[in-house]
Structure 1
Amino acid sequence: MTRYYFWLATRSLRRNPVLTALMVAAIALGIGAAMTALTVLRGMSSNPMAHREDRVYRPQVDNWSANQPYDEQGNPPNLMTYQDSMALHNARKARRQAAMFPNFLAVEPANPEVKPFLATVLFTHGDFFPMFDVPFLFGGGWDRQSDDNNARVVVISRAMNDRLFGGADSVGRRLRMQGEDYIVSGVLDAWQPQPRFYEISSGAFADVEDVFVPFGIGIEKELTSSANNNCFSDPGAGYQAWLASDCIWMAFWVELEGAADAARYKDFLDAYVQEQKARGRFPRPLNNRVNTVAEWLAQQRVVGRDAQTQTWLAFAFLIVCLINTVGLLLAKFMARAPEIGLRRAVGASRKQVFAQFLTESGVIGIAGAALGLLLTWLGLIGLRALYGDTATGRMAELDAGMTAIVVLAAIGASLLAGLFPTWRACQVTPALQLKSN
């Protein structure tokens, strides 16, 4: 019977190709707009560390001014001071811990054909790489001893390796930056976590840094963060005064053994802050946090309101398209009232009529899904062409999951749109239609 209903549906749709095309186009346009926006929003709101959600945590301590909270929501500062980062790092209360801050260093390529250039650099500890499960193409990170000795070792990105060493295994080779030679200990494989959760102060959707350098070298060179450096009071003159100040400019992450260990680490943070209060610091009430990556991204509102608004507007457009489709289906089905009356008169039940016309709505949905999938694909191609090899461009990818969502959404939307017209068609009274004919 289902096969027969499909035959009736295609035959009916071929009778009025213009009306059919309008309904298919309405559904496809709505689906294309909504799914394009949803694909980008899904990429922006993803959690790159979902597989380590119970292991990786972002601690926060509230060292801000007694006169005002850090933000309107009462959250602690999103970064830490140097002295707090070092105190927590040196306490070794976590399985792994890493402080970090970004800056730039001038790279002086050995190849004279490659001009010197500024590279984005993240100064961090060696625990960064195993803690975040960073993949390596060649080599690996550095050990704790290299951290302690400020060893001149670096990890470089795959793009940097391609640029400087032609993509070859560069482990053990020299990289000269600002007059100093560094030994390459590792080359990252393709790794572009989006959002870039570990250091969002310089852009949640920025590219991964070109070079990773031991944390102490940045302090040795008296560098500060190239992103955010926030103070609520005058830090004083000179770099040492800056390090001793309550200015926040460092990210700090830890690896723990799960929720119970995170609770113990929270107790450690509270004890640390209480100790600092006795020394005249941390004037605000206890407000320490130990966030999972998901909690951290939510707190920092990585997905902007503009992206969310655009997605809601796209779905509002889909609703408008569905309302138009409802009107077109209602007009089409009610124009076939004599046919419905005749079918009912020769024995077709309301249930059978309902199944026939809902099948017709489903066929429209299948056609709308195919065209909507094409429009979604074209929309994402347009975004990639507009944004290029940026975070937004890379997020504009239609994977298998989103393809299935597009198809199911289009068919579901058409069936939803067909419910009322189909119900109205089933209310046709056979006797009245036969009498009028």
Structure 2
Amino acid sequence: MLGYYFDLALRSLRRNKVLTALMVLAIALGIGASMTTLTVLHVLSGDPLPGRSSTLYYAQVDPRDMNGYLPGKSQPMYQMSWIDGMNLLRAKRADRQALMTGGLVAVQPHNTMLDPFYEAARYTTADFFPMFGAPFEYGHAWNASDDEAHARVVVISAALNDKLFGETDSTGQTLRLSGAAFRIVGVLGNWHPNPQFYDLLRKSYDENEGVYVPLSSSQDVGIHHDGSVDCWGKGGTGINPDHASRCAWLQFWVQLDTPAEAAVYKTFLIHYSEQQNALGRFQRPPNVQLRDVMQWLDYNQVVPDDVRLQTWLAFGFLLVCLVNTMGLMLAKFMRRAGELGVRRALGASKRSLFAQLLVESGVVGLAGGIGGLLLALLGLWLVRRQPAEYAPLAHLDPTMLLATFLLALGASLLAGLLPAWRACQITPALQLKSH
């Protein structure tokens, strides 16, 4: 029966080509605009580490003085000082933990055909790689012993490996960074978490570091970080803070595999703050936060407000398109009153007629979905030409491809409900008498 209704729908749509084209165009325009903005929102608000993000937490404490303190309202410092970061790292109260910062490092290639250049770098500790699930194409990460020994080792990205060494395994090679020699122990595989949740102060989207070195070694060599620094009291200006300064410039992430472990760790942070307060380092009452990845992204409002606004506006436009489509369908179905009256007189039930007209609406929706997909691809191409940092990520993935047709089909069926119901209320006797 469905095949029969589909055949009737195609015949009906071919008889009224102009009206059909207008309905398909209205659906396509609404779907194209909606899916363009929805795809951008989907990319920006996605989980950067599916399956892991609920066990990764960003830890914050508050070592500042009482200046500007508002009880119950003040948030802890965004980053960690060196003293607090190292204290928490050495406490080893989490399943895994990583202390880090970012910067730019001068790369001096062995290949004389390449000029020296600067590369984004991450100075971190050994647990960074297993904690965040970073895959390796060649070699492996360094270990905790390398951190303790201040080893001159480095992990590089696949893109940097290809640039410096071609598509070969570069592990064991020497790489000069800011004048110091480092031994390459690993080359990362395809790993591009977006947003770059672990350090949102540098860049949120579409940039992963090419160089990863032990935090301890970066300090020995004098590779300075290139990020935000927040100082308090007489901590200084924040330019190249030393380890004893009252400045926060490091990020501290921990892996806690269960909610119970997270609760225990937050209690540990409170006790740590109380201890530091007793020692005179902290002046404020314990003020700590422990947010998982998605909570951290929500807190930082990573998705730009203009993207959310554009999405709402696009769906408002889709609603306008649906109202127009509903009007066109109502006019089309009512013009077929005679045909529908004859079918009723021959024994067709209202339910059968309703199903037939909804199938016709669905066909319009599928055709509009194809047009909307093409318009969405065009819209995303235009988004990728914008200067926004997230622009290169605007691509339609399989999930959004399926959503395009589901939205088009659902929208057309919704638009066809009222016209189909009205058409089914036609009295057969009146139509037969008029004919």
TM-score normalised by the chain length of structure 1: 0.93
Specify the SS of the correspondent of 2:46: coil
Aligned to 2:217: 217
Deviations along 1:38-80, one digit per CA (max 9) or x if unpaired, are 1121111111222123432211113345343699974323211
Judge conservation of contact 2:98–2:127 (CA < 8 Å) in 1.
Answer: yes
Query: Please, which of 421, 424, 428 is the counterpart of residue 423 of structure 1?
Result: 421
Tell whether 2:314 aligns with 1:314: yes
Specify the SS of the correspondent of 1:106: strand
Judge conservation of contact 1:104–1:119 (CA < 8 Å) in 2.
Answer: yes
Q: Quick one: distance in 1 between partners of 2:71 and 2:23? A: 49
Aligned to 1:326: 326
Specify the SS of the correspondent of 1:51: coil
Deviation at 1:246, TM superposition (A): 3.3
Amino acid at match of 1:323: V
The aligned length equals: 435
Specify the SS of the correspondent of 2:268: helix
Judge conservation of contact 1:30–1:321 (CA < 8 Å) in 2.
Answer: yes
Deviations along 1:391-437, one digit per CA (max 9) or x if unpaired, are 532x3232222221111111111000000111111122223333334
Judge conservation of contact 1:30–1:314 (CA < 8 Å) in 2.
Answer: yes
Specify the SS of the correspondent of 2:191: coil
Specify the SS of the correspondent of 2:110: coil
**Unpaired stretches in structure 1, ≥5 consecutive residues:** none
Aligned to 2:412: 414
Amino acid at match of 2:359: T
Specify the SS of the correspondent of 1:428: coil
> After the TM superposition, which residues 1-40 of structure 1 pair with which residues of structure 2 at under 5 Å, given as runs?
1-40=1-40
Judge conservation of contact 1:109–1:115 (CA < 8 Å) in 2.
Answer: yes
> In 2 relative to 1, CA 135–71 (structure 1 residues): closer, same or farther, beyond 3 Å?
farther
Deviations along 1:246-302, one digit per CA (max 9) or x if unpaired, are 322111111223222111111111110001111334333433122221211111111
Specify the SS of the correspondent of 1:112: coil
> In 2 relative to 1, CA 68–145 (structure 1 residues): closer, same or farther, beyond 3 Å?
same
Aligned to 2:280: 280
Specify the SS of the correspondent of 2:51: helix
Higher mean alpha-carbon deviation, 276-285 vs 115-124, is at 276-285
Specify the SS of the correspondent of 2:213: strand
Deviations along 1:156-186, one digit per CA (max 9) or x if unpaired, are 1111111111121110101112221111011
Tell whether 2:400 aligns with 1:378: no
Amino acid at match of 2:412: S
Judge conservation of contact 1:365–1:413 (CA < 8 Å) in 2.
Answer: yes
Amino acid at match of 2:312: W
Deviation at 1:362, TM superposition (A): 1.0
Judge conservation of contact 2:171–2:186 (CA < 8 Å) in 1.
Answer: yes
Aligned to 1:147: 147
> In 2 relative to 1, CA 328–164 (structure 1 residues): closer, same or farther, beyond 3 Å?
same
Specify the SS of the correspondent of 2:231: coil
Higher mean alpha-carbon deviation, 395-404 vs 323-332, is at 395-404
Aligned to 1:295: 295
Query: Please, which of 396, 399, 402 is the counterpart of residue 398 of structure 1?
Result: 396
Specify the SS of the correspondent of 1:58: strand
**Unpaired stretches in structure 2, ≥5 consecutive residues:** none
Judge conservation of contact 1:207–1:391 (CA < 8 Å) in 2.
Answer: no
> In 2 relative to 1, CA 240–42 (structure 1 residues): closer, same or farther, beyond 3 Å?
closer
Q: Quick one: distance in 1 between partners of 2:122 and 2:364? A: 53
Aligned to 1:171: 171
Q: Quick one: distance in 1 between partners of 2:166 and 2:71? A: 47
Q: Quick one: distance in 2 between partners of 1:330 and 1:175? A: 71
> In 2 relative to 1, CA 166–340 (structure 1 residues): closer, same or farther, beyond 3 Å?
same
- Percent of aligned pairs with the same amino acid: 49
Amino acid at match of 1:433: Q
Amino acid at match of 2:82: Y
Judge conservation of contact 2:101–2:251 (CA < 8 Å) in 1.
Answer: yes
Q: Quick one: distance in 1 between partners of 2:351 and 2:200? A: 57
Q: Quick one: distance in 2 between partners of 1:254 and 1:383? A: 35
Q: Quick one: distance in 1 between partners of 2:71 and 2:312? A: 27
Aligned to 2:88: 88
> In 2 relative to 1, CA 70–332 (structure 1 residues): closer, same or farther, beyond 3 Å?
farther
Aligned to 1:354: 354
Specify the SS of the correspondent of 2:233: coil
Q: Quick one: distance in 1 between partners of 2:70 and 2:11? A: 66
Judge conservation of contact 1:224–1:249 (CA < 8 Å) in 2.
Answer: no
Deviation at 1:342, TM superposition (A): 2.6
Judge conservation of contact 1:69–1:75 (CA < 8 Å) in 2.
Answer: no
> After the TM superposition, which residues 68-147 of structure 1 pair with which residues of structure 2 at under 5 Å, given as runs?
68=68, 74-147=74-147
Specify the SS of the correspondent of 2:66: coil
Q: CA RMSD in A?
A: 2.3
Aligned to 1:341: 341
Q: Quick one: distance in 2 between partners of 1:290 and 1:238? A: 25
> In 2 relative to 1, CA 27–192 (structure 1 residues): closer, same or farther, beyond 3 Å?
same
Q: Quick one: distance in 2 between partners of 1:373 and 1:270? A: 52
Amino acid at match of 1:25: L
Q: Quick one: distance in 1 between partners of 2:408 and 2:72? A: 41
> After the TM superposition, which residues 179-218 of structure 1 pair with which residues of structure 2 at under 5 Å, given as runs?
179-218=179-218
Amino acid at match of 1:427: Q
Aligned to 2:51: 51
Aligned to 2:264: 264
Q: Quick one: distance in 1 between partners of 2:71 and 2:256? A: 27
Aligned to 2:243: 243
Judge conservation of contact 2:108–2:115 (CA < 8 Å) in 1.
Answer: yes
Deviations along 1:359-381, one digit per CA (max 9) or x if unpaired, are 11111111112222222233333
Deviation at 1:242, TM superposition (A): 4.3
Specify the SS of the correspondent of 2:122: strand
Judge conservation of contact 1:64–1:70 (CA < 8 Å) in 2.
Answer: no
